[in-house]
Amino acid sequence: MLNYALRRLLFAVPTLLAISFIIFAILDLAPNDPTGSLPITIPADVRANIRHQLGLDQPMPVRYMKWCLQFFWHEPLALIEQWTGLSIGDSETRLRVTSWSTRSPVVDLIVERFPQTLWVIGMAYVIGVLIALPIGVISAYRQYSWFDQLGTFVSMVGFSVPTFFTGLLLIVIFSVQLQWLPSVYDTNHKVTDWASFWVQVRQMLMPVAVLALYNAAQISRYLRASMLDNLDQDYVRTARAKGLRERSVVAIHVLRNSLIPVVTVIALGFPQALGGAVITEQIFRINGIGQLLIQGIHSADIPLVQTITFLFAIMIVLFNLIADLLYGVLDPRVRYD
Amino acid sequence: MTDQAIPGRRRAATRRAALVSRFLSHRGAVAGLMVLTAIVLLVLLGPLVHTVDPQYLDYLDKNHGASWKHPLGTDNLGRDLLAQVLRGGRVSLAVGVTAMLLSIALGTIVGVLAGFFRWLDGPLMRLVDLFLALPLLPLLLVVILLFRDTLRAAFGPEIGIFILIVAVIGITSWMQTARIVRGEVLALREQEYVLAARSIGTRPRRIITRHILPNVLSPIMVSAALGVANAILLESALSFLGLGFPSDFPTWGRLLFDGVNFMTLTPGRVIWPGLAISLTVLSVNYIGDGLRDAMDPRAGGR
Amino acid sequence: MGLKIFLGSAAALSMAATGALAERGSDGQLNLLYWQAASILNPYLSGGTKDLEASSMILDPLANYDEAGNMVPVLVTEIPTVENGGVSEDLRTITWKLRNDIVWSDGTPLTAADVKFSAEYCMHPEGGCNSAAKFTDVESVEALDDQTVKITFSVAKPFPYGPLVGAMSPVIQMAQFKDCMGAKAPECTEANFNPIGTGPFKVTEFKPNDVVVLEANENYRDPDKPAFATAVFKGGGDAASAARAVLETGEFDYAWNLQVEPEILAGMEAAGKGVVVSSFGPAVERLVMNLSNPDPALGDERSTVAHPHPFLTDQAVSRALSLAIDRQILVDAGYGSAGKVTCNVLPAPDMMVSTANDWCQTADVDEANRLLDEAGWVRGADGVREKDGVRLSILFQTSVNSVRQGTQALIKQMWQSIGVETELRSVDASVFFGSDPASPDTIQKFYADVEMYTNTFDGTDPEKYMANWQCDEVPSPANQWVGSNNPRFCNDEYDALVAEMGKTASLEKRAELAKRMNDVLVSEGAFIPLVHRGDVSAHAASIEGVRMNSWDSELWNIEDWTRVK
């Protein structure tokens, strides 16, 4: 297993390099432009000069190599310097990956965004998973009971009604009509005591609910399906025949074997949720990583988009590896050698 | 050769009959099938009964609630909502179902191959990683740049865009299915009956179709139901990038998106398209449930 | 009170207008909501209007424009003119006199050296400064003494108020930016995020693309202002939800640029928590007609002047297209109080507005049909007019925006009634307004028959704006599609008028020339003007002193805003 993990990690390096190049090529080909949101009164020659200043008229491979140098060499050095306080070489003139729209290091932007993304989106994801697991298990165990029918209904509607609708619906009800909850997330809010903690809870309530519903819908469906497959298996009959208590049959044998597809969904969903919760982030103005990414895309901020997308690529590769390793833990028959 | 084939065909026929009868005894599946058929009939025949042009702007009657003239009301430019939902359903259903089938097919093939053949596992799964990592929006902009005008020239504006949308949605949403199917196949591969089949020299193709595929059907059916919802909504997102159909071409996703800001003024604008999408997805889900139960080799035990 | 009298007349006037005499910092926090978040606070490197608005709270130009489009002195004692000797007789120099009581927020005095530096910062060829066009033809900027700055132009400038006037080109501090010239400009993150200014507020915390937290500048020139102790400039989301946060939930005091359907705004305003305000500058939503042929079959020569458009060059067609449009419906459906029917490319200032095109104000479908019949365009079997095998079939593109898509749909139907077929296309705004020469969907490439967007100009002088449509401004492959003449309009008479305006100083004559140019553009069918577009924002009912301004930053007088208790 360890051997396998190491080999996969080793393989991840060329994979990620290839991915980074393909992402860069796509961003370069994309027809959107960093001067697109400038006031229309700015004449074309000034725009051309700005494009030149950003280096957009250099050949694509040159710009890619520059990004690689900045990301794989300058950024780690800058990080080490920040941690140790040492200065290595000529740190003054070393260029970090710099966003075109803010003219500041991209990594600093991401670090600034990470707390609220992790708090809200991460929390919503965890809650979604925690809701989904019991719903999936009970739905399968009592297939076609009223609980199962209700679960099916809620989760399919939850998945087919987009978050831009549920988010706005919640705002209209709880912020406009009832005036209970804030509709705008305050990213500067600091939790220092119980009162401020309560404020934080209130501003997280609606976005977390919207996202948790969406994620739980998906995960619970897969778990239910997988549970149904396993409940009919011979080993379940054997376990029951051996006189094991029903609860431990379900919890230990069935659930464990049913988790394989669910582990995939959960592992894959996490990086996607962090970057893909854009709509929810926009509706509630949470301004996390997803919002940073989408604003970068709209302003054609290639260094920013490239860096964020690449960091997500790393996460995806890692989480897929974790999922694969978990397969082996959940089902000893799955072997990699 | 021929005298062996005949009993084979007869066996297949009886199996199919059993399958159909099992499917028909599944209450949810029958209900789902009926609802879906009703929706399909409505969007196909509805415009023949309700003959209002969905793109006609009855400007003086804008933002109206339900009336005899406009049974579901009108939008802010005076377009008839019923006509729009009916007409929009054709595209949404067509895009939703075809794109879903494409993505399920791609995902299943990749997943089964990767799970079954070890030497394919590495490369295929790295391909999955790549597709998962691609930034969707810029990718779509590139697709518009490269293919819109070519396809438009080759197939005309509507068919060309339809092909583009289905291909784009299918190609960007198969990865989850592939990962899940592969995970299941990895476990199935080591099951006693598969090992037994392999040891008596059964060809891989037969093992896959007879032993593997029927057992990975449940997650595929879930993916299918979720995939329809995903495709219908993604289609509306595409039209916002200028990739989808022209802006005055109604689809369910687009109607819902356009109507969201009018939620308090004319609630019908979000209720009806939302309901149409949810009903479609629910019925696909129940049909999937029924299919799974009917094809499950161990079904009937419970 | 002695200090009060010392203040410029403009400041005293605006105070009289708002009436309230609050103490600095007595009104607590001001919450501003911009649905596009600020990315950078150095306006010379900004990526959009939102950044300019945010930095206008911190930085001041020499003078800015008030809501009527008049110049108001900010850092100077008066506006230089030929009459008061500030502008030389040959119109080649302008001399600004700084006030002697202005202090930067770090306590050091503002001097002429800062002003000179600001100009040089933007004029540096490697700086990528986006206000560079404001400094066109500037030969030199000199600091004559600590309070006097002289700007010399290489040609006579009838309107010498481009450099350092308005929110796009404020004065920045030399001490802070002196190591940030040219190619180094983008590297000065600290200075770009926290510029030291002379404005009413200074930055305490800036989260790029998210939120700016500001506090009152204790060194601000008026000791009683600003009334707010702190301000928050939050970004993100969309226009409709920004309006909701001010008008319905009351969480914010001000929301910017609310271009949403008027019935939505009206519904929200009915909640009574806030007020929708609008103002008009020279912005016009217009149809740009492609006078060259965009047929893909032409390959590289597509949309170049070598091939005239098959039917849009027929003035009967363009007049009929204009007559068929009921502009009042467009205004009611998409703009409400923030739109007015217009038939001119130049709708403001008032003295420059032509009345020669007012025939288009009321739609006349019968007349439009008659014009087309007369010109020989006859309806085919499918109801679409054609002549000599050319069908009146139009590809109509614009940016993705719900109001624009509504307008597109309305126009399509109006044109249908005169036998013109329209295919609609919408393009992502960052592509449409971008200038990537590789993209086929930019406004410059114009691979369509008609496109729709808003164009406008800064300040009140239309000379540069009208010069956009000279022959040598036509975008083409030869100039990498860099050019502002998107309709590919080319007319010697027009070019002569532009040249004449460059030499004319008298305001009346300039207005006369501007009107004639406007009439040529409209009558020759380069544009079909649709809506004179205002800016629309909303503020909480408790905020006083907001004077909506389309000529400058909307926050131009934020130091005068107060909260009614």
pLDDT in tens, C196-235: 999 999 999 999 999 999 999 999 999 988 999 999 999 9
Distance in Å, alpha carbon of B2 to nearest chain A alpha carbon: 37
- For A327, the closest of B183, B191, B226 (CB atoms) is B183
Inter-chain contact A31–C168, Cβ cutoff 8 Å? no
Residue of B nearest to A272 (CA): B132
Contact A306, A66 (CB under 8 A): no
- DSSP of C211-265: EEEEEE-TT-SSTT--S-SEEEEEE-S-HHHHHHHHHTS---SEE----S-HHHH
Mean pLDDT of B208-221: 87
If one compares A82 and C60, the residue with the highest pLDDT of the two is: C60
CB contact under 8 A, B261 and C261: yes
Q: What is the DSSP string of C255-297?
A: E----S-HHHHHHHHTTSSEEEEEEEEEEEEEEEE--B---GG
Residues facing residue C386 across a β-bridge: C378, C391
pLDDT of B240 higher than 80: no
Give C180's DSSP letter. Answer: -
Mean pLDDT comparison of A264-268, A274-278, B33-37, C129-133, highest-scoring range? B33-37
For residue A322, give the nearest of A264, A269, A272 by alpha carbon.
A264
**What is the model's pLDDT at position C19?**
45
Query: Å from C226 to nearest chain B CA?
Result: 36
**C-beta separation of A295 from A102 below 8 A:** no
Backbone angles phi, psi at C20, to 5 degrees: -75, 135
Contact state of A11 with B122 under an 8 Å Cβ cutoff:
yes
Confidence of residue C396 (pLDDT cuts 50, 70, 90): very high
Which residue of chain A is at minimal alpha-carbon distance from C435? Answer: A33
pLDDT digits (tens, 9 = 90+) for B15-31: 788 888 888 888 888 99
> Residues 211-270, chain B: which have Cβ within 8 Å of C?
239-242, 246-248, 258, 261-262, 264-265
Phi, psi of C280 (to 5 degrees): -120, 130
First to last CA, chain C: 25
**Is any Cβ of chain C less than 8 angstroms from the Cβ of B14?**
no
Does residue B39 have a pLDDT over 90? yes
C-alpha distance from A180 to closest chain C C-alpha (Å): 10
Query: Angle at Cα B257 formed by Cα C410 and Cα B163, nearest 5°?
Result: 85
Q: Identify the residue whose tokens are 């929006």.
A: B137
Q: What is the pLDDT of residue A92?
A: 65
- Compare CB distances from A268 to B176, B218, B233 and report the shortest one's residue: B176
Query: Quick one: pLDDT at residue B17?
Result: 85
Burial label, B235 (beta-carbon count in 10 A; 0-12, 13-18, 19+):
buried
SS (H, E, C) chain B: CHHHHHHHHHHHHHHHHHHHHHHHCCHHHHHHHHHHHHHHHHHHHHHHHCCCCCCCCCHHHCCCCCCCCCCCCECCCCCEHHHHHHHHHHHHHHHHHHHHHHHHHHHHHHHHHHHHCHHHHHHHHHHHHHHHHCCHHHHHHHHHHHHHHHHHHHHCHHHHHHHHHHHHHHHHCCHHHHHHHHHHHHHHHCCHHHHHHHHCCCCHHHHHHHHHHHHHHHHHHHHHHHHHHHHHHHHHHHHCCCCCCCCCCCCHHHHHHHHHHHCCCCCHHHHHHHHHHHHHHHHHHHHHHHHHHHHCCCCCCC
What pLDDT sits at residue C183?
83
CB atoms within 10 A of CB B62: 18
Nearest of B47, B60, B119, B51 to residue B88 by alpha carbon: B47
Contacts B145 to C, Cβ<8 Å: 439-441
CB-count burial class (<10 Å; 0-12, 13-18, 19+) for B122: middle
| pLDDT above 90 for B301 | no
Q: What is the pLDDT of residue A37?
A: 80
B1 confidence band (pLDDT: 50, 70, 90) = very low
Task: Give the C-alpha separation, A60 to C316, whole Å.
Answer: 48
Chain C interface, best mutation among B143, B146, B254, B261, by max C CB count within 10 A: B261
For C477-508, how does the pLDDT look when each residue is reduced to its tens digit (9 = 90+)?
Answer: 888 888 889 999 999 999 999 999 888 888 88
Q: Is A25 exposed, middle or buried (0-12, 13-18, 19+ CB in 10 A)?
A: middle
Average pLDDT, integer, range C312-320 = 93
pLDDT at B50: 86
CB pairs under 8 A between B and C: 70
The chains in contact with chain C, meaning 3 or more Cβ pairs closer than 8 Å, are: A, B
**Contact C130/A187, CB-based, under 8 Å?**
no
Whether chain C has a CB inside 8 Å of the CB on A117: the answer is no
In DSSP terms, C535 is beta-bridged to C279
Tell whether omega for the bond before C349 is within 30 degrees of 0, i.e. cis: yes
Confidence of residue C453 (pLDDT cuts 50, 70, 90): very high
Q: What is the pLDDT of residues C368-383, one digit of tens each?
A: 999 999 999 999 889 9
What pLDDT, on a 0 to 100 scale, did the predictor assign at position C17?
A: 43
Distance CA(B253)–CA(B250), nearest Å, equals: 9
With contacts defined as CB-CB under 8 Å, which chain B residues touch A160? 229, 232-233, 277-278, 280-282
Of all residues in chain C, the one with the smallest CA distance to A180 is C249
Give the Å distances, CA to CA, from B39 to B36, B156, B225, B279, C292.
5, 28, 16, 9, 47
Contact at CB, A31 and C441, closer than 8 angstroms:
yes
How distant is the Cα of C59 from the closest Cα of chain A, in angstroms? 18
Give chain A's end-to-end CA distance (angstroms, integer).
Answer: 8
What is the Cα Rg of chain C in Å?
A: 25
Predicted confidence (pLDDT) per residue in A71-129, tens digit: 998 888 888 887 777 776 666 667 788 888 888 899 989 988 888 888 888 889 999 99
The total number of residues shown for chain C amounts to 565
pLDDT category of residue C21 using cuts at 50, 70 and 90: low
Among C264, C409, C428, the residue with its CB nearest the CB of B262 is C264
The predicted structure's pLDDT at residue B7: 56
Answer for the pair C465, C493: CB distance below 8 angstroms, yes or no: no
CA closest to B140 among chain C residues = C428
Give mean pLDDT, residues C452-468: 89
Chain B residue numbers with beta carbons less than 8 Å from the beta carbon of C408 are 247-248
Q: Give yes or no for residue C18 having a pLDDT over 50.
A: no
A142-150 mean pLDDT: 87
CB atoms A176 and C431 under 8 Å: no
| CA C556 to each of CA A92, C70, C549: distance values in angstroms, whole numbers, following the listed order | 38, 13, 8
Q: Is A337 exposed, middle or buried (0-12, 13-18, 19+ CB in 10 A)?
A: exposed
Do B180 and A11 lie within an 8 Å CB cutoff? no
Give the neighbours of chain A: at least 3 Cβ pairs within 8 Å. Answer: B, C
Flag the least confident range among B127-136, B188-197, B270-279, C282-291: B188-197
Question: Which pair of tokens denotes residue B292?
Answer: 């799974």
C333/B240 touch (CB, cutoff 8 Å), yes or no: no
| CA gap A133, A334 in Å, rounded | 23
* HSE value, Cβ hemisphere, 13 Å, CA-based, for A71: 22
Non-local CB neighbours of C523 within 8 Å, separated by 6+ positions: C315, C356, C357
Provide the angle, in degrees to the nearest 10, between the axes of the packed helices A123-141 and A255-276: 150
Q: Is the bond preceding C61 in cis, omega lying within 30 degrees of 0?
A: no
Q: Look at phi and psi of residue C248 and say left if phi exceeds 0, alpha if psi is from -120 to 50, else beta.
A: alpha
Residue A104: partners with Cβ closer than 8 Å, 6 or more residues away: A98, C40, C189, C192, C193, C208
* pLDDT interval class at C340 (50, 70, 90): very high
> What rounded mean pLDDT belongs to chain C?
90
Which residues 6+ apart lie within 8 Å of A193 measured at CB?
A: none
Q: With bands split at pLDDT 50, 70 and 90, how would you rate the model's confidence at C3?
A: very low
Residue C104 has pLDDT above 60, yes or no: yes
Q: Do B57 and C413 touch (CB under 8 A)?
A: yes
A331 bridge partner residues: none
Yes or no: say if B224 and B100 are a contact pair by the CB < 8 Å rule.
Answer: yes
**Which two tokens mark C533?**
């577009």
- Which residues 6+ apart lie within 8 Å of B159 measured at CB? none
Best mutation site among B56, B76, B256 for testing chain C: the one with the most C CBs within 10 Å? B76
Q: Is A32 in Cβ contact with B145 (below 8 Å)?
A: no
User: What is the distance of C-alpha A71 from the center of its chain?
Assistant: 21
Give the pLDDT of residue C13: 42
Q: Are A283 and A163 in contact (CB under 8 A)?
A: yes
> Nearest by CB to C405, which of B144, B247, B265?
B247
pLDDT at A1 over 80: no
Q: Which chains touch B (3 or more CB pairs under 8 A)?
A: A, C
- Quote the pLDDT of residue A47: 85
- C-interface mutation test, from B59, B64, B77, most C Cβ less than 10 A away: B77
Note the pLDDT of residue B298.
Answer: 59
- Confidence at residue A314, expressed as pLDDT on a 0 to 100 scale: 92
Which residues in chain A are closer than 8 Å to C484, comparing Cβ atoms? 43-44
Report CB contact under 8 Å: C249, A175. yes
Distance separating the N- and C-terminal Cα atoms of chain B: 40
Is residue C556's pLDDT more than 80?
Answer: yes
The yes-or-no verdict on residue B38 having pLDDT over 60 is yes
Calpha distance A202→A195 (Å, rounded): 11
- A203 dihedral zone (left: phi>0; alpha: psi -120 to 50; beta): alpha
Interchain pair B256, A261: CB under 8 A: no
Residues 169-198 of A with CB under 8 A from C: 171, 175-176, 179, 182-184, 187-188
Query: With an 8 Å Cβ cutoff, are A31 and C187 in contact?
Result: no
- Does pLDDT of A184 surpass 70? yes
Do B179 and A316 make contact, defined as CB atoms within 8 angstroms? no
Calculate mean pLDDT across residues A197-208: 92
Residue C499: count of CB within 10 angstroms of its CB: 12
- Among candidates A41, A179, A298 on the partner chain, residue whose Cβ is nearest the Cβ of C457: A41
The SS3 assignment for C336 reads helix
pLDDT category of residue C297 using cuts at 50, 70 and 90: confident
Reply yes or no on whether the pLDDT at C1 is more than 70: no
Inter-chain contact C430–A47, Cβ cutoff 8 Å? no
Q: Which residue of B has its CA nearest to A279?
A: B237
CA of B9 vs chain A CAs: smallest distance (Å): 29
pLDDT higher at A279 or B240 = A279
Q: Check CB contact under 8 Å for B149 and C440.
A: yes
Q: Count of CB atoms within 10 A of residue B53's CB? A: 14
State mean pLDDT over C337-345: 93
User: What is the token pair recorded at B26?
Assistant: 């599944």
Closest residue by Cα to residue C72 from C80, C60, C62, C64: C64
Please answer yes or no on whether A165 and B274 come within 8 Å at the CB atom.
Answer: yes
Q: What is the pLDDT of residue C5?
A: 35
Spatial distance between the Cα atoms of A198 and A179, rounded to a whole number of angstroms: 16
Q: What count of other Cβ atoms lies within 10 Å of the Cβ of residue A28?
A: 18
Parallel, antiparallel or unpaired: strands C201-207 and C211-216: antiparallel
Tell me how far apart the alpha carbons of residues B176 and B178 are, in angstroms, rounded to a whole number: 5
* pTM of the entire predicted model: 0.87
Pairing of strands C29-34, C254-255: parallel
B53 chain-C contacts, CB cut-off 8 A: none
Query: Distances in Å between the alpha carbon of A208 and those of A168, A186, A200?
Result: 13, 15, 12
Rg (CA), chain A: 24
Residues of B in Cβ contact (< 8 Å) with C452: none
Please determine, for residue C327, whether its predicted confidence score (pLDDT) is greater than 50. Answer: yes
**Confidence class of residue C518 from pLDDT cuts 50, 70 and 90?**
very high
Computed over every residue of chain A, the mean pLDDT equals 86
Neighboring chain C residues of B149 at a CB cutoff of 8 Å: 296, 440
pLDDT, one tens digit per residue, over B51-101 is 888 888 888 888 888 888 888 888 888 899 999 999 999 989 999 999 999
In B109-148, the residues whose Cβ lies within 8 Å of chain C are 141, 144-145
DSSP state letters, A214-240: HHHHHHHHHHHHHHHHHHTSHHHHHHH
CB A208 within 8 A of CB A123: yes
Burial code of C142-180, b = ≥16 C-beta within 10 A, e = fewer? ebeeebebbbbbeebbbbbbbbbbbbbbbbbbbebbeeb
Answer whether C208 touches A (CB < 8 Å).
yes
